Amino acid sequence: MTKLKGSIPALPVVNIPEAVAFYEGKMGFKARHQEDRFAILTRDGLDIHLWAACDHDWRYKFWLVLRPVSTGAESFLAGTASCRIEVTGIDELYEEMKASGVIYNAETVVEDQPWGNRDFPTLDLHGNLITFFEIVN
C-alpha cells in the first residue's frame, strides 16, 4: 500500500552562500550539503532545500513574446515560494525568530487560526514566506 511520508520545501534563492548564511545565522538551520546552485539545510530533523534562481538572461531579452523565458532558474523566481513548517513550542520559536530579526512586520504575532493551528509568518533573505505552525486541536 502506498503511503506519503513527508515533503521537503524547495525554495528559490538568488545567492546560495548568502542564503545559507542567513538560514544558519538567523533561523538556526545548519547546512549539511552545499554546492554553487543547491543546498540542504536541516534543523531538528527537518530539511529545507535551496536552489539557485540565478539566471539573469531574461532581463536582456527584448523578444520575450516570440521566445519566452524557459530555463526554470530565472532570478525573478527567488522570493516567490512559500512553505509551512509544523513545530512544537510555537511561542518559544516566535521569540527566537523575533530576536534574530526574521519577523518582517512589527505587528506580527502568533495567531490562533480557526482551523486549529497557531502560526506566525517569516521571510527568508530573498523573500520566500515561511510560516511556522503548531497544531493545538
Q: Looking at the domain assignment, is residue 5 inside a domain?
A: no
What's the domain range around 111?
A: 10-135
DSSP percent split of the chain into helix, strand, coil, nearest 5: 20, 35, 45
Residue 124, domain member (yes or no): yes
Number of structural domains (the chain) is 1
Q: Is residue 48 part of a domain?
A: yes
pLDDT tens string, the chain, 137 residues long: the values are: 898 788 899 999 989 999 999 999 999 999 999 999 999 999 999 999 998 887 655 455 555 555 555 555 555 567 778 999 999 999 999 999 999 999 988 899 999 999 999 999 999 998 999 999 999 97
- Is residue 116 domain-resident? yes
Residue 1 belongs to some domain of the structure: no
Predicted structure pTM score: 0.84
User: What is the grid cell recorded at 70?
Assistant: 524557459
What CATH number does the domain containing 123 carry?
3.10.180.10
Q: Note whether residue 38 is domain-resident.
A: yes
> CA 57, 23, 93 angle in degrees (round to 5)?
140
How many angstroms separate the CA atoms of 16 and 14, rounded? Answer: 7
pLDDT on residue 17? 97
Q: Which residues on neighbouring strands pair with residue 135, listed in sequence order?
A: 117
Neighbouring CB atoms inside 10 A of 78's CB total 24
Query: Looking at the domain assignment, is residue 104 inside a domain?
Result: yes
Phi and psi at residue 94, in whole multiples of 5°? -55, -45
